[in-house]
């Protein structure tokens, strides 16, 4: 169970580092982390993108939260998907699809026993 949780988190963080859609490396200006206001999908974008939330991120220790009306919220989700035959997780914010798994985004891997 611990390993499975770790695998999901690692996959989720891998997906966050390399979001679906346009890779950040294709456009050097697309370097702001954010999530789409409609779909909740995380992406890298730029300052002028009004369709994405790109501010309000807060670290508490190594955990990533979002300031929602002055409350620290963590509504991150990972949703299984397949891109070019590769199984991945889409990392999202507040995604309510049945197969969306709640996850905590963390800068550190969990400790092993």
Which residues make up the interface to ligand NAG (CB under 6 A)?
Answer: 27, 29-30, 46, 68, 73, 75, 94
Nearer to ligand NAG, 94 or 104 (CB): 94
Shortest Cβ 88–ligand NAG spacing (Å): 23
With contact defined as beta carbons under 8 Å apart, do 12 and 103 qualify? Answer: yes
State how far the Cα of 61 lies from the Cα of 104, in Å rounded to an integer: 12
H or E stretch including 58?
Answer: strand 57-60
CA dihedral 16, 57, 34, 1 (to 10 degrees): 30
Name which of 6 and 20 has its Cβ closer to ligand NAG. 20
Output the smallest distance, CB 83 to ligand NAG, in A. 21
- Give the nearer residue to ligand NAG in terms of CB position, either 6 or 54: 54
Q: Which is nearer to ligand NAG, 86 or 96 (CB)?
A: 96
Q: How far is the CB of 94 from ligand NAG (least distance, A)?
A: 4
Can you tell me the distance from the alpha carbon of 15 to that of 23, in angstroms, rounded to the nearest whole number?
11
């Amino acid at each position: 169970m611990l390993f499975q949780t770790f695998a999901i988190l690692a996959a989720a963080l891998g997906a966050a580092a390399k979001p679906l859609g346009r890779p950040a490396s294709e456009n050097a200006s697309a370097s702001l982390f954010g999530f789409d206001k409609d779909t909740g999908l995380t992406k890298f974008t730029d300052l002028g993108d009004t369709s994405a939330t790109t501010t309000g991120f807060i670290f508490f220790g190594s955990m990533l939260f979002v300031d929602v009306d002055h409350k620290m919220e963590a509504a991150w989700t990972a949703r299984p998907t397949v891109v070019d035959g590769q199984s991945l997780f889409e990392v999202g914010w507040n995604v309510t699809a049945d197969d969306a798994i709640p996850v905590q985004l963390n800068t550190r891997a969990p400790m092993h026993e």
